[in-house]
Amino acid sequence: MSRNKSNKDLDSLKKEDVVQAVVVADNFSDAFVPLTNETPSCLLPLVNTCLLDHTLEWLSNSGVQEAFLFCSRHVEKVKEHIRKSKWGDSTSPLLLNTIVSETCLTLGDAMRDLDAKGLIRGDFILVMGDTVANVNLLPILEKHRKLQKVDKGLAMTVVYKYAGPSHVGRAPQDDVLVAVDKKTSKILFHQKRIASNDNKKVHIPMEVILDRPSIDIYNDVIDTHVSICSVSVLPLFSDNFDFQTREDFIKGLLMNEEILASSLAAYCLSDREYAASVNSWHMYKNVTQNMIHRWTFPLVPDMFTNEKEIYQYLRGNVYKQHPVTLARSSIIEDDTVIGGGSEVGESSTIRRSVVGRNCHIGNGVKIEDSYVWDGCIIKDNCTIQRSVVGSNCVVGEGSVLSQGCILGQGVQCPPGYTGNTRLQSCQGDDDDLDMVGDAAYIVKLDNDDSDSEDDENQQIWSDLYCSNQIEEVDGDSDESSEMSDESDRSISPVLDDTKLFYNEVVDSLKRGYEDKLHCDNLILEINSSRYAYNVSMREVNLLVVKAILNLPKLESGSYLPQLWPLQTYFMPIYKNYIRNPTAQIDCLQALQELAMAEQELLTAVPKLLSVLYNQDILNEEVILKWHSELEGDSEAEDLYKVAGPFIKWLEEAEVESEDESD
């Protein structure tokens, strides 16, 4: 599987070639109902910019010259959006052609319709209109064409992305196991894990393995839903009406390769390249966080705007678009985006959430792990957790939305409403919907069973909030049902990516110290783990310092005698990561958390501060500010006192320096 990171551009392709892409606007699913009742999925906002604009911006940046936008639902809304956007302008770098076929119900129907129209002249890029990516497509297209010269039957190159089994980006519908011929990159086996009754076991036919010198089997990749297609793809869909989805196409070619005389190739993106299809709430949440954490750069909020819609990028991954009005007592915490024209009232808190444009957030409102779209009014004392509020909604005073609650566009929740279900603003064709307000009706699920409804709400909550799936505990012992609350709290939580990253850092440092590896090599390992687990830079600073300070606890013998040789050995790692005032704050935070928990480290704080100060890791302004903030904190009282002598020395040294300068 290739990991080519070539920087070749259009000059590497034949000059007469036009790089074409097919963008399928509809995802042909009800994953986002009721928000897609009146709006196509490609026009749903992600970090206050519609998904289609993210997709087209990426294609344009990747050198695509002509794109065919295939629409089958809410066609007029898609056309209107294109007309009003830069993509409808004659100066647009991307020639965009809109194709309409409202009778198409699947991707296969769309491909057959395209084949009948005869618009595609050569190899093309196939993506969905909900794709967010930053990968350069031209090297992948060039690789596809090189493989075509060797394998004349190559129909499609499937683009995968590396992601470990515990990676938050692994949505169940994209979790695949792939076997690839190591020499030719030919796909020999491709199976969705969710399709298997026992996803812990995989049955690979022997003929896949035999007669090949070597194959690679990947359990650490996800399907990005990006494909490079040969001209033969469209006729293959036309000749095989059972190909309704892209998955059907891949499975059909692998099962009938000799009959269809067609094959598939694999291409895996590098760690720095990003691509994902927002086809579920799990992916919506995941891609939003990745964009806020800038893994999709240059498609990030402060760059993906025009001159009238400028975002200010602040510490802690906070983005504010001008103009935003924040009350003095409001709190905007990390990983938050607020659109222009919005107002946030007194004593309101917003954390890990996206608030759209022209929203009014009242007083005493709490918004957490949620998405509030444009034009919403959230009245006083509301709580919104792990929920989605569609455009132009009104949430009545004192309401509580939680655990996967989804409000369709224009819903008006009555004051004091509490719920975790899906609401739409009108009855539509169904007169049996339960009414909870003048413009708020409970969306009826296909299965009317109440248990099924609870299960679906729980799944939506899981998709919007949880990053890992928790396996059920086998057995039905009576003992487990009688466990006390205390024992419940003692159960070890499932490791998230941050903990997995920390464990890998500890392992790398421990091995590096024992084997006397150069710190430059250890830094490379830490950086690789960072990209693999999608950890922010501030978390890296904090966890690397914690790992260094915790290493003596893993060795036999007393703590302090082993601490100082480790500090000396890992000083290059300190210098690599603690390079600015923000990083110094992270370093001191790590020291504070461990010192408050470990008595041995607490006694070493003055000397440790002195070592880091003398090595120019920490400067005196940051140290003094940190120490002053400890004053009055009852939990940090011991730390404040222990650090006092060093702080006094630091202040006296500063005074002496000022006197000498005078």
Structure confidence by residue, pLDDT tens digits, 517-551: 899 889 988 988 887 777 788 889 999 999 998 88
pLDDT band at 651 (very low <50, low <70, confident <90, very high): confident
**Alpha-carbon span 11 to 194, nearest angstrom:** 42
Does 474 score more than 70 pLDDT? no
pLDDT band at 166 (very low <50, low <70, confident <90, very high): low
Containing 414, the helix (H) or strand (E) segment is: none
Q: Determine the 3-state secondary structure of 404 from DSSP.
A: coil
- State residue 69's pLDDT score: 94
Containing 252, the helix (H) or strand (E) segment is: helix 246-255
571: buried, middle or exposed (CB in 10 Å: 19+, 13-18, 0-12)? middle
pLDDT band at 304 (very low <50, low <70, confident <90, very high): low
Find the helix packing angle between 637-661 and 581-597, rounded to 10°.
140
Lowest average pLDDT, out of 303-317, 343-357, 558-572, 633-647, goes to 303-317
- State residue 88's pLDDT score: 87
Mean of pLDDT values over 335-359: 95
- State residue 657's pLDDT score: 58
pLDDT band at 446 (very low <50, low <70, confident <90, very high): low
**Alpha-carbon span 275 to 192, nearest angstrom:** 18
Does 360 score more than 50 pLDDT? yes
pLDDT digits (tens, 9 = 90+) for 56-94: 999 998 889 999 999 998 999 999 999 998 888 888 888
Q: Where in the chain is the domain with CATH 1.25.40.180?
A: 497-660
Mean of pLDDT values over 612-616: 90
The pLDDT > 70 percentage for the chain reads 83
Within a 10 A sphere around the Cβ of 199, how many other Cβ atoms? 14
Does 11 score more than 90 pLDDT? no
pLDDT digits (tens, 9 = 90+) for 121-157: 889 999 999 999 999 999 999 999 999 999 999 999 9
Containing 301, the helix (H) or strand (E) segment is: none
Does 452 score more than 60 pLDDT? no
Does 197 score more than 60 pLDDT? no
Mean of pLDDT values over 615-636: 86
* CATH topology assigned to domain 308-444: UDP N-Acetylglucosamine Acyltransferase; domain 1 (2.160.10)
The pLDDT > 90 percentage for the chain reads 43
Spatial contact of 314 and 332, defined as CB atoms under 8 Å apart:
no
pLDDT band at 306 (very low <50, low <70, confident <90, very high): low
Q: Where in the chain is the domain with CATH 2.160.10.10?
A: 308-444
327: buried, middle or exposed (CB in 10 Å: 19+, 13-18, 0-12)? middle
* CATH topology assigned to domain 497-660: 1.25.40
- State residue 457's pLDDT score: 46
Does 461 score more than 50 pLDDT? no
Does 12 score more than 90 pLDDT? no
- State residue 471's pLDDT score: 34
Lowest average pLDDT, out of 35-39, 116-120, 206-210, goes to 206-210
Q: Where in the chain is the domain with CATH 3.90.550.10?
A: 20-281
Higher pLDDT, 463 or 593: 593
Mean of pLDDT values over 559-581: 88
Lowest average pLDDT, out of 11-15, 323-327, 498-502, goes to 11-15
pLDDT digits (tens, 9 = 90+) for 45-64: 999 999 999 999 999 988 89
- State residue 496's pLDDT score: 57
DSSP string, 510-567: HHHHHHT--HHHHHHHHHHHHHHHT--HHHHHHHHHHHHHHHHHHSSS-HHHHHHHHH
Does 475 score more than 50 pLDDT? no
Does 634 score more than 80 pLDDT? no
**Alpha-carbon span 536 to 34, nearest angstrom:** 33
pLDDT digits (tens, 9 = 90+) for 418-444: 988 899 988 776 667 788 888 888 887
- State residue 194's pLDDT score: 60
What backbone torsions phi and psi does residue 533 show, to the nearest 5 degrees?
Answer: -105, 5
**Alpha-carbon span 239 to 253, nearest angstrom:** 12
- State residue 308's pLDDT score: 60
**Alpha-carbon span 469 to 127, nearest angstrom:** 28
**Alpha-carbon span 499 to 534, nearest angstrom:** 12
- State residue 217's pLDDT score: 87
Mean pLDDT of the chain: 83
Q: What pTM was computed for the model?
A: 0.68
Reply yes or no on domain 20-281 having CATH 3.30.590.10.
no
